[in-house]
Structure 1
Amino acid sequence: MPPSAVVLGEALIDLLEQPDGSFRPAVGGAPLNVAVGLARLGTPTRLVTGVGTDPFAATILGLLSASGVSLASVAEVTGPSPLAVASFQGAEPSFSFYGSLPIPALDAAIVAEAPVVYCGSIALLTPFVDVARAAWAIPGPQRIFDPNLRPFLLASSGVDRVREIVEEFAASADVLKLSDADARLLYPHLSPVSTALRLRSLGARTVVVTLGAGGAVLLRPDRGARPSAMADSAIHSTDTVIGLRTHPGAVVDTTGCGDSVSAALMHCLASGLPDEDAAWISAVQFALRVAAYVAARPGGAVAMPPLAEIPVPL
């Protein structure tokens, strides 16, 4: 069996607001969504996370196992599982988080042999960040980073600290996946593309900015020297900036759509994605099809598709 891709970050329970005002529990957490999405696409996947010992933990572990995600790096920690309360205005959720994130041990050998490793989301603003830093420093896998920010994170941690951590991980990322919401929270005075250019200037190799219904923008490595007098956030003639449209369809619930893009890109990388513009365009188009599938179904992690459900082959 080939080595597993490694996903680092939180696994938790989403409490989803219902039309009658009640809340329905569902397994969630952005890294968990990525791990489930990646495994369902057919890539062997290991989630490095921690769960509690309450009944919710059994539900989390059950979904991971049923989706084909390895539980070998999931630590069980005495106490309740973290909760995320999601309220809705239309299809877009707004989250509040409760509880601490359990911190697992890291097996460096597993990371070193992985084809790709992912980190991002709220785990980076907890002591879990030390696990992510240790994994990020291990040579071997391609690194994909998705900040996946929430407004409450900036309010509780401070914009400067959040931006510092994002810039730290982005600087050595092979792939930076950024949403337009992430971009606005990080650099309110810049456009999403300008934010992507700024972060790419720190060292990120390939950047994908998702724009919701607007599709995505793909920024590939600079083809030449950027004039030193030019601001990092300005497009130059040496830049490769490609706009890609989204795919039409019903939008029922956008929970997990961005995570499905990260999962799809990781699947392409683990499958041997060539470092060429044309290959990357096809990969992002594939990821947008996966996101459209997820948007048409409720539930985040449980909406992630098997590869056979995506009509366009890689």
Structure 2
Amino acid sequence: MGYAVVLGEALVDLLDTELDGERVYRQAIGGGPLNVAVGVARLGGAAQFVGSLGDDALGGRIRGFLTAADVGVAGAITVSAPTTLAVVTYAGPEPDFRFYGEPASYGLLGPDDLDLALLEGADVLYCGSIVLLQPGPLAAARRAWSLAPGLRVFDPNVRPRLLNGPAALDGLREVVAEFAAGAHVVKMSAADAVLLYPGEPVEGVAAYLRELGAATVVVTLGAAGAVLAAAGADPVRVPAPTVNAIDATGAGDSVMAALIADLLVDGEPESPSGWVERVAFALRVAGLVCESRGGATAMPTRAAVTDRFGG
């Protein structure tokens, strides 16, 4: 079995919560791509994280956390910037993220910082998330995308607070189309789909991304499961298991992690029914994540998923 390269951001989340009747922030290492890398490792796959980390104590903690989670950090560079903080508040079905730190520590990876041997040896390359709004990492992602010899997976993981008006949204839409055109798998949330393609039903969004060139598209719907659009079949809905959800942080990232881990083990499914089984497993992984607090720290092992939901 080979390894996956996950290119994206790592930062520190400050989660709005309450302790002894007072509002406090709970610190958690986060970033969608970091969650994905940790999730792949927890599910038995090998993962290498590629991104830029701050040169402060928090950046050191992120590097140590990844190493302890058996995620490779040979492609992670340290930059002269404080670690970006994401303040997370909850007022609806989707958490609200506000980002603090200039320049963004996660946005300083450039195309010349890439470890080309690491990329060229990867069986799966993940690109996506908020680094694509930064010129350096976007150029790095484009270079990695062009060099990747294996399977390419993409997740826009949109954060509306980082989009400054319609022009920024249009620009992101163009980037999504660019990466989707060369992707073996695209995963996005229903919230991403609504923001990027307002007024379009999720099945229509999935079909559109396949028309652009994506081989397989998965749109997650929270407790309602996911829409799957695979080659040779119309889009279908895959139900999610019933769970006792307490924290959805990292749930979408865990779906991506499960899909990547299975790609590393078995490659692409040969039939649409095989994709249904893959997505159903990924939704079980996400369900278990929702039953625990935290993002990266909630990523489960395969044994834990089997224990909770059966084989």
TM-score of the superposed pair, with normalisation by structure 1: 0.90
1:307 to 284, 297, 302: 302
CA distance in 2, matches of 1:163, 1:124: 11
The answer to whether residue 283 in structure 2 is matched with residue 275 in structure 1 is no
**C-alpha deviation, 1:28, in angstroms:** 0.3
Q: Alpha carbons of 1:313 and 1:137: their partners in 2 closer, same or farther (altered >3 Å)? A: farther
Mapped partners of 1:275, 1:6: distance in 2? 23
User: CA separation in 2, counterparts of 1:59 and 1:139?
Assistant: 29
How far residue 150 of structure 1 moved from its aligned partner, in angstroms, is: 1.5
What aligned pairs does 1:148-187 form with structure 2 within 5 A after superposition?
A: 148-155=157-164, 158-187=168-197
The aligned residue for residue 78 of structure 1 is 80
- Partner secondary structure for residue 173 of structure 1: coil
Q: 1:198 aligns with which of 205, 208, 212?
A: 208
Task: Work out the CA distance in 1 between the residues paired with 2:80 and 2:170.
Answer: 33
Rounded Cα–Cα distance in structure 2 between residues aligned with 1:158 and 1:68: 36
| CA–CA distance in structure 2, aligned partners of residues 212 and 155 of structure 1 | 27
Shift of 1:63: 1.4
| Compared CA separation, residues 38 and 285, structure 1 to 2 (3 A) | same
How far is 1:282 from its partner?
1.0
Distance of 2:17 and 2:125 partners within structure 1 = 35
State the partner residue of 1:134: 143
Judge conservation of contact 1:91–1:253 (CA < 8 Å) in 2: no
Note the residue ranges of structure 2 that are not aligned, 5 or more in a row.
none
Q: Secondary structure of the equivalent of 1:39?
A: helix
Matching residue within 249, 265, 268 for 1:255: 249
Cα–Cα, structure 1 residues 195 and 153, in superposed 2: closer, same or farther, change >3 Å? farther
* Contact 1:31-1:120 within 8 A present in 2 as well: yes
Contact residue 206 and residue 228 of structure 2 kept, 8 A: no
Give, in whole Å, the separation in 2 of the partners of 1:44 and 1:257.
Answer: 20
Paired amino acid for 1:278: S
Q: What residue is the counterpart of 1:94 in the other structure?
A: 96
Q: Considering only aligned residues, what root-mean-square deviation do their CA atoms show, in Å?
A: 1.6
Distance verdict in 2 for CA 1:91–1:195, change over 3 Å: closer
CA distance in 1, matches of 2:58, 2:310: 36
Of residues 61, 65, 72 in structure 1, which corresponds to 2:67?
A: 65
Corresponding residue SS for 2:266: coil
Question: What is residue 23 of structure 2 aligned with on the other side?
Answer: 21
> Following TM superposition, by how much is the alpha carbon of 1:313 offset from its aligned partner in structure 2, in angstroms?
7.6
The 1-side partners of 2:97 and 2:148 are apart by: 34
CA contact 2:206–2:235 (8 Å) conserved in 1: no
C-alpha contact (below 8 Å) 1:52/1:102 kept by paired residues: no
Change (3 A) 1:187 1:92: closer
Does 2:40 align with 1:38?
Answer: yes
Matched residue pairs, number? 297
What's 1:284 paired with? 279
Give the equivalent residue in structure 2 for 1:122: 130
How far 1:139 moved relative to its partner?
4.1
Question: Cα deviations across residues 5-50 of structure 1 (Å, max 9, x unaligned)?
Answer: 1000000000110133221111000000000000111111100011
Higher helix share: 2
Aligned match of 1:296 in 275, 291, 294?
Answer: 291
Q: Cα distance, 1:65 vs. partner?
A: 1.0
Paired position in structure 2 for 1:246: 240
Distance in 1 (alpha carbons) for counterparts of 2:304 and 2:213: 35
TM-score (normalizing by structure 2): 0.91
Secondary structure, in 3 states, of the residue corresponding to 2:90? strand
Shift >6 Å, 4+ stretches: none
Alpha-carbon distance in structure 2 between the residues aligned to 1:150 and 1:52: 21
Q: Which amino acid aligns with 2:258?
A: A
- State the percentage of identical aligned residues: 46
Could you tell me how far apart the structure 1 residues matched to 2:63 and 2:148 are? 29
Contact 1:247 1:288 in 2 (8 A): yes
**SS of aligned partner of 1:118:** strand
Contact in 2 for aligned 1:218/1:242 (Cα 8 Å): yes
